[in-house]
Amino acid sequence: MAKTVKPLNELKIKNLKPKDKEYSLADGNNLYLSISPQNAKVWRFIYVHPISKKRQKKTLGTFPFMRLAEAREIARHHKTLLLKNIDPFEYIEQQKREQEQRDELFSDFAYKWADWKQSKGKYNEETKNKTLKRLENHLFPRFVDYRLNQFTITDTIEKLQDLETVKSDTLQRTLGNLIEILDYAMLCGRIPHNPVTPIKKAFATVASTHQPTIKPEELAEFMQMLQKSNRTPQIKLLIEWQLVTMLRPFEASAVQWSDIDWENKILSIPAERMKGGKRGHCVPLSSQALQILEEIRLFNGNYKHVFAGRNDRSKPTNSQTVNNAIKRIERGKYSGILTAHGLRSIASTYLNERFTEEPFVIEACLAHVGADTVRNAYFRGSYLERRRAIMQAWGDFVEQCKKAK
């Protein structure tokens, strides 16, 4: 015969005295009051887990801060869930998580998306920061206090309409980011579908534009003006370094001394510091590239990065340093005409005109992945020795331009 539980009352609880050891009194519906030797009176819910069948002891609160009536109400609610084979405390945690997700702002979730992209190798640190800066400037201010489930395609089009006439290229990038963020939200089970998937169709397509650049025959004049400019020796060396290695601005500025194999004259850049973050890249170092390294070592040989930052020597110089320097040469002569990224185009033009039989090798020098997906899947070569000859030919040309009168 089951033991009869005599319910507690407020007066009895107040009069309970501590003992040498903790003891408990039952009230019914799995509710117990534990009294410690220090006279602490704690409400506990003691039950068997509906799945694991293990005994559980959970604290609800302390008396008198939680009165008897409140403790009983909570116990009755928990007992009801147990009868449905639901663990009451797991249920409460799940409800809490779901509420937190419903309350989470779109902007907060976007930062998680960016971290996820980086963790999957789809973003390097610079690309992630540039993307977040774009969102902070153009997306978050237009959707202040929005939750993930509040987006509709008509409302989103209306809020982004003004960006089309001002910065149409930025609009397209922002739209792509928004679609990706909500796709990720769908993958996480936060929304049932992405409501803005077709949104790009509502705006004009922007024709792609190439980075401003100059012709190879104009490089000599540029090199002469660079040498005469009041840029620091380190900046001049960085510009020459980016030229002769054909690296992208971030890749060039972030090179570390540990990336350099002096014996084999090779620079190896890990995937996380390359565009896209999927493939590493090795650069056969021409004699001109090695000479630049010898010169910059006099300034930065004791630091981690070949081109250490001016203010924080533990970090690389800003990837926009070359762009900013080019704009200031000869009172802005090259502003809007040449960019840091455009230096790669000079190399590409020169080499494709001279080495007409080596288009794949030149693309490998530029760390380009071809459009032929089948070829990319099966070809694993790097053309290293053939690239070495081409990189040296390009270095020789840059040196001739630098010495031209």
Q: Which residues are identified as catalytic?
A: 248, 275, 341, 344, 368, 378
The pair phi, psi for residue 105, each rounded to 5°, is -75, 150
Measure Cα distances from 379 to 5, 358, 359, 367 in Å: 78, 16, 15, 14
CA neighbor of 351 nearest in space, from 398, 303, 293? 398
Q: CB pairs under 8 A, 24+ apart, for 103-109?
A: 103/147, 104/147, 104/148, 105/145, 105/146, 105/147, 106/140, 106/143, 106/146, 106/147, 106/148, 106/150, 106/151, 106/181, 107/135, 107/140, 107/143, 107/146, 109/148, 109/181, 109/185, 109/190
77 Cβ neighbours under 8 A, 6+ residues apart: 88
